Structures are given as C-alpha cells and as structure tokens.
Chain A
Amino acid sequence: MPSRPTAKSSEPAPTPTHHARGGRRVFVVAGGVTKFAKAHPAMDFRLMVKKAYDAAVADAPNLTKDRIDGSRVSYFSDHFSRQLKAASMVQDYLGLNPKGSVRIEWGGATGGECFQAAYEAVASGRMDVCLAAGYETMSRVQTWKGNEFIALASDTNYDFPLGGFYTGYYALMVQRHIYEYLRKTRFAHVKDEREAQRLATAEGSRIMSLVSVKNHVNALHNPYAQYPKQLTVEDVLNSEMISYPITREQICTMSDGAAVAVVCTAERAKEFTDRPVEVIGVGTGTDTMRLADRPFGKVPLMPHESAKDYANLDYPGVHSFRAGRAAGLEAYKMAGITASKKELDFIELHDAYASSEIQTYEDLGLCRYGEGYAFTESGAPFLPNVKYPFKTPKAGEIPVNPSGGLIACGHPVGATGLMQAVFAYWQLEGSIAKHFGDGTLQIPDAKRGAIHSHAGTGSAVTVSILERGF
C-alpha cells in the first residue's frame, strides 16, 4: 500500500488516543463463577447469574444487597437466549431494582468490557459499590447455528458470506503470522516456496499445540473448567481439522455459564474484606471490522522495543492484533508498568484459539513481535509445578492462563472476561486452594496480574491490571 500523507506541521497536534487517566481508586472485593458446561438445561440465565452472585457474596458476609449501588450486566448475543432486555431480567432476579443498571455488549470482549464499565462507575464517583455480572447460554441453539450467530460479528456484506465461520478468520490470520514469523525466519533457507510454507505451518501447528496442552493440563486442577484434559502434542495435532491449520483441540468451545465480580471504593473495600485487590490499570483498543482494511503501518512500541526491530514489518496486517497492543499500552501506562514480563506475576488472556494466545504474547509485550513461537517453546508461560508431556525450561517466568483459559474452561461469552477477573482476584487474594480445592494453580505470592478480553477478529480488546491491595 502507498504511504499516507502526513499532517502538516502548522496544524495543531492531534489529541492523544489514550489518556490512561484514573479516577477514584477501585478495588475488587468479591467474585463468583458457575461451573462452565456444554449445557445447563436446568438453569436459565437468571438462575446462573444468581448462583454466581451467591457464591461471590458468600465470601463477603457484609456485602449485603442494600450496599450495592447498581450493576453492569453483560451478555454477547440476544440470539442465544431469544430474549431482549435479558440484562433487566438479571437485575430483577437479583432484586436490585430500582437501582441503576445497564447492559454491556462488546463481542467476545463483552465480559472484559463489563468489568471496566463497573470500574468506571466507581472510578467516576457515580457509585461506591458496583456489581459486574455476565452470562451466556449458548446451548440453546445447535452448534452450527451458534457458529453462525458468532460470525454475525463480522461485516455481513463482505466477510460473513466468505465462510461465515470465526475459526476460518483466525486460521487465515495465523497463516499470515506463520508466514511472517516462521516462513521468513526458521525456513528462510528453504528455496521451494510451497515446501517452505508447508514446513512453517507444521512448525506453527506443533507450537500452537504446546499452548493447547498447557491450558488443558492446567485445567485438570480447576473444578470450574469445562474441558480439563491430559493431552499430548500428538493428540492435539491429530484432533479433527476445523480450519487449516487449526485443529479441534486448539479452539475453545461454546458454553453455558455465568460470572460476577464486585468492585468498590477504597473506603468501602475495608468493610467487605481485609484482602482487597486494586484495579491499577485499564486499557481498551480497537481495529477495523473487515480484515482487509487492517493497515500496513508501524508498530506502537513498548519500552523494550525499538523502531529498528520492525524496520521491515508491515503492521498489523492480519497477523497481529493492533487493538491488543493499544489496550496493553494504555493499561500499562496507567499502572506504571514498563516491562510487562517482569512486572506481572501472571496473565489470564483470551485464548479462544491457541493461535491467538501466541499472537497476544507479542501484543502484550511479553516478547517482541516475531518471538511468540520461541517464547512458547522456552516454557515461559507454563507453570513450574505442573507436569507437561514435554520440557518447559523457563516455566514460571510469566504464567499465562494458569486457570486453563478459554480453551479448557469454556467461553460463555458474556461471562468469560468476568471469569478471568474472578480467577485473577482469587490468585491475588491467595485463595486458589480454597476455591479450587487444589492449590496447584496458585501462583506463589502473586502480587500483580493482568486480564485480557478480545472481540471479533481483534476488532476490540480490553486489558485490566489487578494488584494485591493489602
């Protein structure tokens, strides 16, 4: 593409995209989730949210209903429950009327956005205590129809008619990622183009399988997870091919489930818990809905990167998520983080596909763009005390998806980002053993973690940073 004309120097400087200003300090003081499942036919969305809510307040006896000022309620698709104003019915069932409430929807990032909406309600001074509640009931339609509903979150003129299947979009994005970062590097010496691409894709598939194994095996210690599995790389590679090169075990599933988190001011936090967790940074980023509109520009740099690292890289194209980079930069700036890999103790990120987990390592600055595959192989995002069927020499450097992530926990869209918030809250509270009945996944002495929620081919991403507040 030709380069675009730049602004003339006499024009006023553009307004910065990301201010990263905080308001009042905001703390998480309670969280609850239902077990995610293929189907909860005996519970509708109201009852699922109520169960997650009851689990949350059971941990904070002073958090009675009259102390909650209002709510933010999230679910992704009206189609799944065929019930408009379902968020009002959640508010109603919880008995929170006539307090303020609003429904949040932001594609796959719905849950992450709901968490930040509750944060904003408190940071702005509008509420002292806000409930963030989310759910999805995806079992109410057949899986193929569910896939169609999800794909409606793509441009219905241009992209939806080409497959109309989200796995296809992510598969072609990772194909380009593999081309940029494996074909042009590890397989640069292979002269035959077809053979070079075949080898690079095989290598990429193998490394994506490491991520799938990690998340499924971690989930063996998480009773809330939908699909904990003892898998090998071969099992993942040999599972059904869904969209080349992505196989069945590299993709999250549709789920029924709910999650809630309660956030409040510093003063109120003391009333509910002696172990509050502060939200010290929030960020969101966006990108074009149509993949073909993604520009070929420059990388917005993290402190450990320099422009010359990416001199020959057209960014983001379809291989990386510019929205994820923008969200990370904003959240890190607000939290004062300059070296995410060192300054975070863990990350719960949106691994709807094993490919997007690797792409997100790079977006969030855990390594440079192009280093995601080597970073995975190094073992850095693995847990040191969990046994995987291969070597993970740097395990524990920055554990990613200790809970099992979306791939193993499930992805009831409106609940997912809140599930991450709850798992991160429990990590920082040091209560994984209490809540999971198994302390294996507890990151020892975890002080600070990030959660990351991702929508529609990377068209929107939220990142929130949580820190122990005691």
Chain B
Amino acid sequence: MAPPKPKRFTKFREVQAEIEKSGSAIFRDANGVDSLIVLSPYSINYIHSYAEDSAFFLGLAEGKLLGSKCTGCGFVYATPRGHCMDCGKPTKWHELPKSGRVHAWTTC
C-alpha cells in the first residue's frame, strides 16, 4: 500500500508552524510546484575573548567604570579602546566618574 501523501501548504505562515511541529513541510506555490522545507537546527558556542577590552568588564565586577586615556593627545574615551583613533598612540586605562548626563535614550 502506498504511504499517505503528505499535506501541501500554500501559506508561508502555515509552513513555519508545521516545521516547528513536525520538522518538515511541503509548500505548494501558485503554479502547483512543491518545495520541500525542513527544520535545520544550528547552534554554536563561541569562545569569545574580550581580549584588550577585558579590563573594562573586569572593572565592572569591582564597581569601577573604566575608560581609556590617550598617552599622546590626552583624549579620554568613555568607551575604551587600546589605541587613539585620532593620533594612533596607545591609551591607558582611566577611571571614569560614575555620574553623567544622558545623551540619548530609547526603550525597546
């Protein structure tokens, strides 16, 4: 006996729902052509190093807000970077005050 013919879906929304449920679905387009669509899981654990930015995040754990100060021109970066984007000289870690004014905001 021939196996039962799987259902065809004509709406993408239905395809998405069916894939979540059973792992696959068949989409039938306006010309009657079928496309096989399957759930294809993908997961990855990156080994993300904060590298030269690490002191900022380690500082947070100690209640410190660290920026960086250029050893060449003295410019202070509130979001730290290892080298000055203006003069190119290395920067040093620089503790920032913990109060300031809000420049821009949103809620999302």
Contact = CB atoms under 8 A, between A and B. Distances in A.
A93 interface: no
Contacts of B86: 4
Closest 8 CB pairs of A and B: A243-B108, A171-B106, A176-B104, A168-B108, A172-B106, A42-B29, A292-B79, A39-B12
A41 interface: yes
26 contacts: A1-B75, A2-B76, A4-B75, A41-B15, A41-B27, A42-B27, A82-B40, A139-B12, A142-B16, A163-B108, A165-B108, A167-B108, A168-B106, A171-B108, A172-B104, A172-B106, A175-B105, A176-B103, A242-B108, A243-B107, A244-B107, A245-B106, A293-B77, A293-B85, A317-B103, A318-B103
Interface string B20-63: 00000001010001010100101000001010010000000000
A244 B106 contact: yes
A310 interface: no
Interface residues of B, number: 29
Contacts of B85: 288, 293
A171 to B, nearest CB: 4
A5 B84 CA distance: 13
A347 B86 CA distance: 34
Contacts of B108: 163, 165, 167-168, 171, 242-244
A176 B40 CA distance: 42
Contacts of A39: 12
B30 to A, nearest CB: 9
B28 to A, nearest CB: 9
A470 interface: no
A344 B106 CA distance: 35
A139 B35 CA distance: 14
Contacts, number: 66
A175 B48 CA distance: 32
B104 A42 contact: no
A390 interface: no
Interface string B72-90: 0111111101000110000
A41 B35 contact: yes
Contacts of A288: 85
Contact of B50 (A157, A179, A292): A157
Contacts of B15: 41
Nearest to A139: B12
A163 B42 CA distance: 22
A206 interface: no
Nearest to B31: A42
A317 B105 CA distance: 13
Nearest to B35: A42
Contacts of B106: 168, 171-172, 175, 243-245
A175 B42 CA distance: 37
A156 B33 CA distance: 42
Given A39-B12, A243-B108, A293-B85, 8 more contacts: A4-B86, A41-B37, A42-B29, A82-B40, A142-B16, A158-B53, A175-B105, A175-B106
A319 to B, nearest CB: 8
A242 B37 CA distance: 30
Contacts of A165: 108
Nearest to B67: A292
Interface in B93-108: 103-108
A83 to B, nearest CB: 11
Contacts of B103: 176, 317-318
Contacts of A243: 106-108
Contacts of B37: 41
A38 interface: yes
Contacts of A292: 78-79
A293 B35 contact: no
Interface string A303-320: 000000000000001110
A245 B106 CA distance: 8
A349 interface: no
Given A5-B73, A244-B106, A41 B33 contact: no
